[in-house]
Amino acid sequence: MTEVPVNTENKNVGNEKRIHELDSLFKPKAIAIIGASSKELSIGNVILKNLVHYGYTGQIYPINPKEPEIRGIKAYPTIFDVPGDIDLAHIIIPSRFVPQMIEDCGKKGIKSVIINSAGFSEMGEEGMALQKEFLANAKKYGVRVFGPNCQGIINADPQYNAYCDFTFTFPKPGSISIVALSGGVGAFIMQSLFDLDIGMRLYASNGNACDVSISEVVDYYGNDDGTRAIILYTEGFHNPKEFMDVAKRVSKKKPILAMKAGRTEEGAKAAASHTGSLAGVDIATELIFEKTGILSFQNEEEMCQAAMAFSTQPLPKGNRVGIITNTGGPAVIATDELVSAGLQLPALSERAKEILKETMLPEASIGNPVDVVATGGGTHFRSALDVMMDEDDIDAVYINFVTAPFTDTNEVARNIVEVNKQKRKPMVCNFMTNMSLERFQETAKILRDGGVPCYSFPTTAAKALGALYKYHKMQSRNIGKEKDFNDVNKKEAGNILQLARNENREFLTSAQTYQLLAHYKIPFADWRIASDTEDAVKAAEVIGFPVVIKADSSSLIHKSDQGGVAINLNNADEVRSTVVRMKALFDAADLKFFIQKYLPGGRELIAGVSAKKDLGHLIMFGIGGIYVEVLKDVVFKIAPVTEVEADEMLASLKASKLLDGVRGEKGIDKQLVTDIILRVSQLVTDFPEIQEMDMNPIMAFGDNAFVVDARIKI
Amino acid sequence: MTEVPVNTENKNVGNEKRIHELDSLFKPKAIAIIGASSKELSIGNVILKNLVHYGYTGQIYPINPKEPEIRGIKAYPTIFDVPGDIDLAHIIIPSRFVPQMIEDCGKKGIKSVIINSAGFSEMGEEGMALQKEFLANAKKYGVRVFGPNCQGIINADPQYNAYCDFTFTFPKPGSISIVALSGGVGAFIMQSLFDLDIGMRLYASNGNACDVSISEVVDYYGNDDGTRAIILYTEGFHNPKEFMDVAKRVSKKKPILAMKAGRTEEGAKAAASHTGSLAGVDIATELIFEKTGILSFQNEEEMCQAAMAFSTQPLPKGNRVGIITNTGGPAVIATDELVSAGLQLPALSERAKEILKETMLPEASIGNPVDVVATGGGTHFRSALDVMMDEDDIDAVYINFVTAPFTDTNEVARNIVEVNKQKRKPMVCNFMTNMSLERFQETAKILRDGGVPCYSFPTTAAKALGALYKYHKMQSRNIGKEKDFNDVNKKEAGNILQLARNENREFLTSAQTYQLLAHYKIPFADWRIASDTEDAVKAAEVIGFPVVIKADSSSLIHKSDQGGVAINLNNADEVRSTVVRMKALFDAADLKFFIQKYLPGGRELIAGVSAKKDLGHLIMFGIGGIYVEVLKDVVFKIAPVTEVEADEMLASLKASKLLDGVRGEKGIDKQLVTDIILRVSQLVTDFPEIQEMDMNPIMAFGDNAFVVDARIKI
């Protein structure tokens, strides 16, 4: 099930009109089921059954040419026989009849349709033609289409109880909304929230997504006051720019927890085989998540567990956590995980310790963690909680609560809940108990009804708190705006690219390349072009020895592999013999010699750009030589990058310390390097026709940084 | 709760006598509860209640000086009043009475005691004295002591049903045995297996562990035919050598799944605060796990989930997995995780594809994954399963099974179970359903009763299969025996070390260091010692220019930081001026000049050794310079290392490709380097008094490798 945006109106998401349009999908007052069936276990029967079972508050109109009623509800032969207005229609009829049915829906004034039927774009040419046909009809009448080949939507708000889906989980109302490319994944996420006993608000799995896109749904959720957090599952985006625009806006208002599958080559292949289109390991999606402030998960269970904390807890204001425990080992495990997630365990203040010395049992351990010990009861937990809430240096609280058989566990739970209800700081609870015993079921109920997110393992609870903190950190991070250098000459740069296009070039010549860089004030090593031996010697003398010589011809791409590069030439003789050798080596009519100043020493860096369809450019940066070859030590961002992002690129390299200088080597001037990145970013953003740029190497020194070799593909 | 081995007999684990001794602990025929209490929620009451509730098959003798009966069971004033023999006694009386009680237990002929009472080594000097006192009494009578300050043991074998613990989880009999340093962690692991509806066999949490150690328990589990897999939780070992011996033996017979907490500095601190002794991040435990073939986990939930697969499934014979799914997205997620765990998804054979074309629904996707689609029923799953079992290129099967409402899910489950029962290849099942619906509860029961390990998330199921494969890989790995070089001169080496000790040296002199290396044929750069300028010139001329000169004095440790090293001296004058400069710099009576051949180029490596109390030596190896400084690219093993392990050390470096040569640089002769590691390993194993060795750098070339600088601490 793929998201293929065909309707160009999609791009215009976020306006008020569009949001109201989707109300007919998510808040329908009357639903027709076109293809309703009395056959048990058919989709047309299951959807009807689900609507009734879930207590749908609006009108249901089963449409069936033969049956007078289905499951006790009056049926109509056609939608035109339905007496009232219809907001939403399920369409569960063979695909070949769908275009006409959409036409009919338009005539009847139906605002949205969910096409559950399959047999469209996922089935090749013929299906695609049908899809285009019904979409044209939908557009004519302004009917919004959800699907085809999809599950549908659920609105768990008791005002609607709209279960427009054939799945089998009936969630209680809550504040988390789900949108999933894969219905299978959407369904088990919904089930997981159900198993965790937390509610859900809106659900959407839109299959082929020919009209209503995931981006549009996320936008809708963003504007839905009842949605506190959004869970998103995808295998990629067909219109990543649209998604970025929406996600940037929505993630400022509420957390988006997301998982993108297909992160391995094999996974991407599996995704392609079931979606028929999205293929290739796609690092762009993770970069989009990073750039737009979406919390990315690689483990769907962790994502659901984190959602539980997001649905009930305030966000921490920092990374300092206090642990309260009534058992030793689980606090050790929790500490390991919390610290790994970037949280800290500050020491308690003297004041806090004095209070705890008064209130705790003598065998308690007073510190962070506070171990109230297994025999500790409600008052002990309460005092420890109050102390943590009062500590200025604590931003969040982690609790281990084992239901020791010799304590009043309900009393402990009640005290935790009371403090939780104050909502002063977020808390998570690793609640270790036996839920098959009635006594502890009651304790669990007190905690859950009190909105305490309870987990069964210390690591799980700690990871959930780690996710809250990570979101806080993302929210506090202001990447700023991209820098707009006003000393660039966009017009001249455009002329060079136009010239290269006129010459039908795939790659710019060296001269064109360096001129283009010059117009964007991207520094590069001093250079001359020479066409013959003595020209080359003269050029080298003007530039000053030592020099490097590169053979330049449209037929030469990987010069250094072919012997077309010679470095550190110290005098006229060396230049002469090099040019003679290269002439013998390369029999090209347009052979020229590219002569540059050679500066030994310095740090070898690389940068690159590649264009991604419908997204823009990815910019890559790394430390050259063995670092990129052996350690793959590179980092990517989506252009345009801001100064903050460019700084992050340098800082997030594994070997970033090298840039500061180690073992007596001088560090580089990082500002000069980020400037290169920012200017390259502006260049490719100004000229989307640039497909690839390789700057390898960029040489960086303590007081200088410049591109030595560059290659530009258009 | 710490494991402090006091009884020296501990070290002698694994013999038949000791194993029989622990039968009185794990298979008691009569249990006395000394300190049994009629007070609800007291430990002395809870243990009695648990024994009765769990259906203990032997005799229970509550011991209480005042009560004639407790919970309806006849009580006795003292153990001497008990008419029959007693195998095991719980001791739940104040710590000060425990030494006398152990004496009494000895006199009564009780073979094992579980001391639940606290107030011993965990409480400082006074408690430690009490612990020593009762241990002496125990030794006198041959009473084995479990604890003190512990939970106890559980034997879930229906022949015993011995619930000698105050926890609250009552597992059904199974094949997984648990041993945990922390009772809190042990209890939630037991609960987790219970929640997963898989059985347990033996359980032990031994608190202070003053006598019966974790190693002894693991050894006992290893010899227990009913134990199929072992789960171990620890925060470190006090007698790591004992544990290694046991673990090596046991892990060959059955999988040990282990988790060691305190992997961060803060976690180790938390562990120290609750155990009072084990401190510092201890990489040795992970190395022990690696060396002895123990499956190490950093996430306790993953460990429990993996245990479910180990308890029911055969091991895979390789890493090739076939996926059967009835929904798309979860197969993508599973693929990502399986591939990340080192598994592969081979293409299906032509034969297999032909069969599937016949048997699958037309909309099914035939390949690996096989998507039988949501409407696929039992016959479709069955055919796909049979195909996977018959495929030569498939070692294990992963199943996604969503209970689509329009299929006979029980029929699907029955088919999965039938194939599972053939035990041809391991399988795991991500079973996506709503367990609150009766219909699907039945499906789940069929799967569980049929021994199919079912998970709620694709990643979780994939991780469990990954663990099975990892254990298979560990089992297939034969690290061999350490190499015993017979060309070493152990006697002369011993003499040098003796001399250094006689001289009260902490660090060997350069001459001693290089002589020691020479006796173990550890190659190093040609060298001479010179005491004055002209001596130095003569030495350099003998060695041949260029040379390196190092100032050598007992007061100089970090020579290069202090200007005591000069490299690449090309003639007599340079040697002369260097010696003069160093003489001015270092005003030491014993100042000498260490002159070595200087060989430029080559790869700079480092190796080191550090002694670990009660374990032996850790050997460290890495690539020198920035690699160790910036990238921390080093690897550790426990000495003695074998050839296989030495090879692994080179191969497991992040930048290991450098050793093969990159960017036109020549690679190094790895055999020469592993030889150095193996000879160092033999040296430190022969001389445990060596505390530290630093070999930095070792220079390696295409045809040569030698130590340039070394430092040895005794």
pLDDT higher than threshold 50 for residue A10: no
DSSP A81-144: G-SS--SEEEE-S-GGGHHHHHHHHHHHT--EEEE----SGGG-HHHHHHHHHHHHHHHHHT-E
Chain-chain contact of B365 with A336 (C-beta, under 8 angstroms): no
Find residue A229's DSSP bridge partners: A176
C-alpha distance from A376 to closest chain B C-alpha (Å): 13
> Along chain B (714 residues), what's the average pLDDT of each consecutive run of 10 residues?
37 48 95 95 93 97 96 96 96 96 97 94 88 97 95 97 96 97 94 94 94 95 96 90 94 95 83 52 85 95 97 96 96 96 97 97 93 94 98 98 92 98 98 94 96 97 98 90 92 95 91 93 89 90 89 69 79 91 84 85 89 89 82 90 95 89 80 96 95 91 90 92
pLDDT digits (tens, 9 = 90+) for A589-615: 888 888 988 887 788 899 999 998 888
Helix or strand holding residue B129 (H, E): helix B125-141
Using CA atoms, how far residue B175 sits from A671, B171, B471, in Å, is: 62, 11, 17
Using CA atoms, how far residue B636 sits from A340, B243, B658, B699, in Å, is: 22, 19, 19, 19
Q: Where in chain A is the domain with CATH 3.40.50.261?
A: 8-310, 320-452
Q: What are phi and psi of A388, to 5 degrees?
A: -65, -40
CATH architecture of B603-713: 2-Layer Sandwich (3.30)
Amino acid occupying residue B358: E
- Residues 225-244 of chain B with CB under 8 A from chain A are 233, 235
For the segment A58-87, the average pLDDT, to the nearest whole number, is 96
Chain A residues close to B192, C-beta within 8 Å? 456-457
CB neighbourhood size of B451 (10 A): 15
pLDDT higher than threshold 50 for residue A283: yes
Helix or strand holding residue A295 (H, E): strand A295-297
- pLDDT for residue A663: 65
A560 CB near a chain B CB, below 8 Å? no
Chain-chain contact of A330 with B363 (C-beta, under 8 angstroms): no
Give the tokens for residue B500.
């250094």
Residue, of B265 and A523, whose pLDDT is higher = A523
A590 CB near a chain B CB, below 8 Å? no
> Which residue in A180, A238, A172, A178 sits closest to A205, CA to CA?
A180
- The dihedral region occupied by A192, where left means phi > 0, alpha psi between -120 and 50, and beta the remainder, is alpha
pLDDT digits (tens, 9 = 90+) for A318-351: 999 999 999 999 999 999 999 999 999 999 999 9
Q: Give the C-alpha separation, A509 to A518, whole Å.
A: 14
Chain A residues close to B625, C-beta within 8 Å? 663
Q: Where in chain A is the domain with CATH 3.30.470.20?
A: 603-713
Probe site for chain B from A54, A205, A333, A438 (most B CB atoms < 10 A): A333
Q: List b or e across A418-439, with b for residues whose CB sees 16 or more CB atoms inside 10 angstroms.
A: ebbeeeebbbbbbbbbbeeeee
Beta-sheet pairing, A176-180 with A152-155: unpaired
CATH architecture of B8-310: 3-Layer(aba) Sandwich (3.40)
pLDDT higher than threshold 90 for residue A95: yes
Probe site for chain A from B269, B336, B356 (most A CB atoms < 10 A): B336
For the segment A134-139, the average pLDDT, to the nearest whole number, is 97
Q: Please state the length of chain B.
A: 714
pLDDT higher than threshold 90 for residue A477: no
Chain A residues close to B663, C-beta within 8 Å? 625-626, 629
Residue, of A401 and A627, whose pLDDT is higher = A401
CATH of domain A526-597: 3.30.1490.20
Q: Give the C-alpha separation, B73 to B64, whole Å.
A: 12
- Residues 656-685 of chain B with CB under 8 A from chain A are 657-658, 662-663
Q: Where in chain B is the domain with CATH 3.30.1490.20?
A: 526-598
Band (A561; pLDDT cuts 50, 70, 90): low
Q: Where in chain B is the domain with CATH 3.40.50.261?
A: 8-310, 314-476
C-alpha distance from B482 to closest chain A C-alpha (Å): 31
Probe site for chain B from A336, A402, A408 (most B CB atoms < 10 A): A336
C-alpha distance from B340 to closest chain A C-alpha (Å): 8
A319 CB near a chain B CB, below 8 Å? no
- pLDDT for residue B631: 81
Three-point CA angle B600, B601, B607, nearest 5°:
100
CATH code matching the domain that covers B314-476, chosen among 3.30.1490.190, 1.10.10.10, 3.30.830.10, 3.40.50.261: 3.40.50.261
> Which residue in B265, B185, B302 sits closest to B233, CA to CA?
B185
pLDDT higher than threshold 70 for residue A357: yes
CATH of domain A320-452: 3.40.50.261
A652 CB near a chain B CB, below 8 Å? no
pLDDT higher than threshold 50 for residue A515: yes
- pLDDT for residue A697: 87
Chain-chain contact of B264 with A335 (C-beta, under 8 angstroms): yes
Sign of the Cα torsion B448, B450, B456, B461 reads: positive
Q: What is the pTM of this model?
A: 0.90
Q: List b or e across B527-565, with b for residues whose CB sees 16 or more CB atoms inside 10 angstroms.
A: bbbbeebebbbbbbeebeebbbbbbbbeebeebeeeebb
A166 CB near a chain B CB, below 8 Å? yes
CATH code matching the domain that covers B526-598, chosen among 3.40.50.720, 3.30.1490.20, 2.60.40.1480, 3.60.21.10: 3.30.1490.20
Q: Given the structure tokens 């004992």, which residue do they identify?
A: B242
The ipTM (two decimal places) reads: 0.90
Chain-chain contact of A631 with B626 (C-beta, under 8 angstroms): no
B347 CB near a chain A CB, below 8 Å? no
Q: Where in chain A is the domain with CATH 3.30.1490.20?
A: 526-597
Three-point CA angle A198, A201, A204, nearest 5°:
120
C-alpha distance from B643 to closest chain A C-alpha (Å): 25
pLDDT digits (tens, 9 = 90+) for A198-222: 999 999 999 889 999 999 999 999 9
Do the Cβ atoms of B89 and B34 come closer than 8 Å?
yes
Band (A667; pLDDT cuts 50, 70, 90): confident
